[in-house]
Structure 1
Amino acid sequence: MKLKFIADIHISPLTVEELKNKGYNIIRVTDRLPATSSDNEIVGFAYKEKAVIITQDLDFSAIIAQSGLDGPSVISLRVDNAKPDRVSRLLATVLPLVEIELAE
């Protein structure tokens, strides 16, 4: 089964488009939820959709830990240079490893 990814608001639409072009099943959170959605709402949506959240926000891991839910998984990006081309290259390297890890 191919993983679904949801990019948080801080991930550029350019990055999402590039990853789609590489064959990833990815949307931006604003494709399905209002831009004003809380992190809790995003977690609930990702859980329901069985999707991995890609974010630069550290709050998601804490929300999931406190909720007692067994997901969703979160990819937390901590980068000095968050330009879309750099983030796209980084994710293109990391996502195949995430897919392998979560398939096990």
Structure 2
Amino acid sequence: MKLLLDQGLPPSTALLLREAGIDTIHVAEIKLSAAEDTEIIEKAKEQGRVVITLDADFHALLALSEATSPSVIRIRIERLRAQALANLLITVMAECEADLEQGAVVTVEASRIRVRRLPLIT
């Protein structure tokens, strides 16, 4: 599974995930730090990446467009440091792998993980 980390997440998380063998890039590494969410979605689609974000807008954009990809993981846990975020993502990917590969939005909270398959019906 390949990941694209959104702005607001520690860029060093991408390095930690790569060290763990996961193909990961941060938007800053590909000059998309100031990009619109739609541009990030398109880049993730082109490259077959799962978007990792803190932003609820990605879920809304996918719902409005009735898209079937890319998958998005939204983190709703505040102030995670790079290593804790990397560990969390490894766990979430293992637990939700089949859904993410088929197209899903995953919301990660401190006490639960919610998965909704794409396309989202509004």
TM-score (norm 1): 0.86
Structure ranking higher in strand proportion: 2
Structure ranking higher in helix proportion: 1
Q: Is the CA contact 2:11–2:28 (under 8 Å) kept in the aligned structure 1?
A: no
Secondary structure of 1:35's aligned partner: coil
Larger RCO (alpha carbons 8 Å, 6+ apart): 1
Which blocks of at least 5 consecutive residues in structure 2 are unaligned?
103-122
Which blocks of at least 5 consecutive residues in structure 1 are unaligned?
none
Q: 2:52 aligns with which of 27, 51, 54?
A: 54
Count of matched residue pairs: 102
Q: Which 4+ runs in 1 deviate beyond 3 A?
A: 100-104
TM-score (norm 2): 0.74
Identity %: 31
Question: What amino acid is aligned across from residue 74 of structure 2 in structure 1?
Answer: S
Q: Alignment RMSD, CA only?
A: 1.7
How much does 1:41 deviate?
0.6
